[in-house]
Amino acid sequence: MQCRTDCGACCVAPSISESFFGMPSGKPAGLACVHLTPNRGCGLFGDPRRPYVCTQFLPEPAVCGDSRDEALALLNLMETATSRV
């Protein structure tokens, strides 16, 4: 599966616990990454400063669903299920 255009759900919904370029404290869930471009793409795609977790994420129907809204909902569910409280 290819990333759908103008989505960026994976750059908003999940948290990123590691420090990375532009976000030294990581990224909280629900906050857009500072590298999310206006057309909802990754400004660090292909850049070695991109977080490891992002380089390992692959789009697939179980995570991305059929729309951006569905992807946000699915990723929010996964984030909630795996968060450490």
Q: How do the domains of the chain map onto residue ranges? A: 9-82
- For position 83, what pLDDT does the model report? 80
Give me the tens of pLDDT residue by residue for the chain, a chain 85 residues long: 899 999 999 999 999 999 999 999 999 999 999 999 999 999 999 999 999 999 999 999 999 999 999 999 999 999 999 887 6
Cα–Cα distance for residue pair 9/14, rounded to 1 Å: 8
Cα–Cα distance for residue pair 61/1, rounded to 1 Å: 7
- For position 8, what pLDDT does the model report? 97
Residue with tokens 């729309």: 67
36: left (phi over 0), alpha (psi -120 to 50) or beta: beta
For residue 73, which of 6, 16, 10 has the smallest C-alpha distance?
A: 10
Cα–Cα distance for residue pair 84/53, rounded to 1 Å: 17
